[in-house]
Amino acid sequence: MTRALSTPPVIASGSLGGSPQPVLATTGGLLLRPWEEADAPAFLSAYQDDGIRRWHTRRPATEPQVREWFDAYRQDWKHEKGGHWAITRDGVEVLGRIALRGFDFDDGMASAAYWVLSAARGAGVASRSLLAVTTWALDEIGFHRLELDHSTRNPASCRVATKSGYLLEGTKRSAAVHDDGRHDMHLHARVRGD
């Protein structure tokens, strides 16, 4: 069904899905690239890490399930619903994940999400990756607003957001369920021109 808008969409439909998902370079030898089948063991292993499991209740259980997720990621790109990248060192070693989800081309909005493996934490990997995806989305593609949220009990994610220019806009009360119950969530956003 086509929406009848009184204003033109911020981003033209069809502007991303017909092209390959881009590879994005950032400082320190980090390369953000689409997930590859060979990444399945590293991806599955990441969800065994307590620091990732604490904040993610949706977890793959097997490598075939990871490959299904990767296929869903490719479909998200093709159908202009989102982009999912492996954060890698020089395109090879997987250090983490970063995504923009929920593409809304009419309003020019999307939501960011990320995790980083324990060996890469504290080295600026998440913030440099978030900054690279943010710059691509706002400056190259033309998104107007990017949001992210995280548990108020996750100060590391809060530091990544603020370091990457995402302003804290408020707290969403009891907005997410984690293994230990409901959490309040901080809402951060970055708007083109910030």
Report the pLDDT value the prediction gives residue 136, as an integer from 0 to 100.
98
Report the pLDDT value the prediction gives residue 2, as an integer from 0 to 100.
58
Separation CA 190–CA 56 (nearest Å): 23
Question: 37-52: per-residue pLDDT in tens?
Answer: 999 999 999 999 998 9
Please say if the pLDDT value at position 66 is more than 70: yes
Alpha helices in 112-193 (DSSP H): 125-135, 155-163
Given pLDDT bands bounded at 50, 70 and 90, which one contains residue 3? low
Q: Is 58 exposed, middle or buried (0-12, 13-18, 19+ CB in 10 A)?
A: exposed
Please say if the pLDDT value at position 1 is more than 80: no
Q: What percent of the chain has pLDDT over 70?
A: 98
Question: 113-169: per-residue pLDDT in tens?
Answer: 999 998 899 899 999 999 999 999 999 999 999 999 999 999 999 999 999 999 999
Tokens linked to 133: 């995806």
Contact 183, 176 (CB under 8 A): yes
Nearest to 158 by CA among 183, 193, 141, 194: 183
Helix, strand, coil share of the chain (percent; to 5)? 30, 35, 35
Separation CA 168–CA 127 (nearest Å): 15
Q: What percent of the chain has pLDDT over 90?
A: 90
Given pLDDT bands bounded at 50, 70 and 90, which one contains residue 5? confident
Report the pLDDT value the prediction gives residue 116, as an integer from 0 to 100.
96
Q: pLDDT averaged over the chain?
A: 95
Separation CA 173–CA 151 (nearest Å): 10
Given pLDDT bands bounded at 50, 70 and 90, which one contains residue 110? very high
**145-151 β-sheet, strand order:** 24-25, 30-34, 82-89, 93-104, 109-116, 145-151, 181-191, 167-178
Neighbour-count burial for 33-54, b at 16+ CB within 10 Å, e otherwise: bbbeeebbebbbebeebeebee
Better-scored residue on pLDDT, 37 or 1: 37
Strand partners, 97: 86, 115
What domains appear along the chain, each with residue ranges and CATH number? 24-191 (3.40.630.30)
Report the pLDDT value the prediction gives residue 91, as an integer from 0 to 100.
86
Question: 87-108: per-residue pLDDT in tens?
Answer: 999 889 999 999 999 999 999 9
